[in-house]
């Protein structure tokens, strides 16, 4: 039985690798074509290729359920075409044992996904973003992009961040509870002193007192309640470059500061539930493909079926996310809904499987 388990596992891994390689090549070409339109200045084609190569693993990781679904379907189709599934059934392997054979590679894959999401792909993605940012000049923000935050009635904006994390082009807007603007501050740059205190340089301050506007120019001004250095670094990270632990911390920061955290909460739960979604897709593939007499369903047809179901799953997940944000539904419930659908369909198909 150990030899048979290893044989089935090798077929599964080979099929997953094949589908993953095909999807990687497709995504690589699409990303490269998109990135070539953004070449300018020091951002050359070589750096664009390096940027895409480093950020692609995170994108591919989120498509692991689709890869496992299509790969598992292809593996069983290949075994059926060569009559090996008939031999496996004839050797006394029942449905329970077949599930046990698939359980080990699925569990190993789930653990590998957890480790990769937390410690590997976020670092690669950040490295890729740093390469592009450095090539574009001393500003880690996209052209026209700003960082915004709020603490009670005060709003903050940072329009420029140097490679060393030095903020510049800073605006502060102070409102009273009646939503009336009472004070604004603009600073050319700032130093982060610690404990949420910044020293602003070359400031222009405006205060509204009745119908009078008081304008004050100062070489420097200290202001409390802004970001810490660590929080500012997290603000620079895109969702794709955040590990699940960083997403959780940043979501809590947004909650504490009274900001909307739905997007980051959904991203966090989608990452946490990704290994379970992968296992569910594998079980779904088992229920769809491991059938006696399914020899006519060739590898190409099974791959097509897997891609179709994977696309439907991806689109359904995106629709669920959009509806969850529109109607302010629970982030956990929104992320769980596609997963529940997958496992429900997989359990029904496996239960009805005549093996």
Q: Does 109 map to a domain?
A: yes
Q: Does 147 map to a domain?
A: no
Number of domains in the chain: 2
Domain identity same for 171 and 271: no
- Can you give the pLDDT at residue 207? 95
The proportion of the chain whose per-residue pLDDT surpasses 70, expressed as a percent, equals 94
Nearest to 99 by CA among 277, 303, 350, 295: 350
154-165 residue pLDDT tens: 999 999 887 677
- Can you give the pLDDT at residue 293? 52
Domain identity same for 168 and 63: no
Domain identity same for 121 and 157: no
Q: Does 231 map to a domain?
A: no
Q: Does 127 map to a domain?
A: yes
User: Of 180, 205, 226, which residue sits at a domain end?
Assistant: 226
Q: Does 252 map to a domain?
A: no
Q: Does 167 map to a domain?
A: yes
319-347 residue pLDDT tens: 888 888 888 899 999 999 999 999 999 99
262-300 residue pLDDT tens: 999 999 999 999 999 999 999 999 988 766 555 555 566
Domain identity same for 199 and 337: no
Domain identity same for 131 and 70: yes
pLDDT averaged over every residue in the chain: 88
Q: Does 244 map to a domain?
A: no
Q: Does 183 map to a domain?
A: yes
Which residue range is the domain that position 172 belongs to? 153-226
Domain identity same for 129 and 269: yes
Q: Taking the model in full, what pTM does it have?
A: 0.84
Domain identity same for 18 and 48: yes
206-251 residue pLDDT tens: 999 878 999 999 999 999 988 888 888 777 788 899 999 999 998 9
> Is-contact 65 274, C-beta < 8 A?
yes
Give the whole-angstrom CA distance, residue 89 versus residue 86. 5
Domain identity same for 128 and 270: yes
Q: How far is CA 56 from CA 106, 128, 140, 297, in A?
A: 23, 9, 20, 32
Q: Which neighbouring-strand residues pair with 187?
A: 170, 203
Domain identity same for 86 and 171: no
Nearest to 316 by CA among 281, 285, 282: 281
> Is-contact 51 34, C-beta < 8 A?
no
Domain identity same for 63 and 96: yes
- Can you give the pLDDT at residue 42? 85
């Amino acid at each position: 039985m150990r030899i048979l388990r290893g044989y089935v596992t090798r077929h599964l891994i080979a099929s997953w690798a094949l589908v993953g390689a095909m999807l990687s090549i497709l995504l690589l070409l699409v990303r490269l074509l998109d990135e070539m339109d953004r070449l300018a200045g020091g951002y050359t084609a070589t750096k664009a290729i390096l940027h895409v190569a480093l950020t692609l693993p995170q994108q591919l990781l989120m498509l692991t359920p689709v890869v496992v679904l299509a790969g598992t379907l292809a593996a069983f189709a290949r075994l059926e075409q060569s009559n090996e599934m008939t031999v496996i059934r004839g050797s006394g392997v029942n449905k329970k044992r077949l599930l046990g054979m698939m359980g080990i590679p699925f569990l190993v894959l789930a653990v590998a996904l957890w480790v990769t999401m937390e410690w590997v792909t976020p670092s690669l993605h950040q490295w890729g973003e740093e390469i592009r940012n450095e090539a574009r000049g001393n500003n880690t923000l996209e052209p026209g992009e700003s960082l915004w935050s709020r603490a009670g009635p005060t709003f903050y904006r940072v329009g420029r961040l140097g490679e060393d994390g030095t903020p510049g082009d800073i605006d502060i807007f102070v409102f009273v509870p009646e939503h009336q603007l009472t004070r604004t501050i603009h600073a050319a740059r700032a130093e982060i002193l610690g404990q949420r205190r910044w020293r602003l340089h070359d400031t222009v301050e405006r205060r509204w007192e009745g119908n009078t506007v008081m304008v004050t120019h100062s070489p420097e001004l200290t202001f409390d309640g802004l970001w810490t250095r660590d929080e500012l670094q997290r603000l620079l990270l895109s969702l794709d470059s955040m590990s699940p632990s960083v997403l959780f911390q940043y979501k809590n920061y947004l909650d504490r500061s009274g900001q909307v955290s739905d997007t980051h909460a959904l991203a966090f739960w989608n990452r946490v539930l990704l290994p379970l979604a992968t296992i569910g897709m594998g079980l779904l593939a088992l229920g769809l493909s491991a059938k006696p007499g399914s020899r006519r369903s060739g590898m190409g047809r099974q791959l097509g079926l897997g891609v179709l179901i994977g696309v439907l799953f991806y689109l359904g997940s995106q629709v669920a996310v959009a509806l969850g944000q529109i109607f302010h539904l629970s982030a956990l419930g929104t992320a769980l809904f596609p997963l529940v659908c997958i496992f429900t369909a997989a359990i029904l198909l496996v239960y009805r499987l005549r093996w």
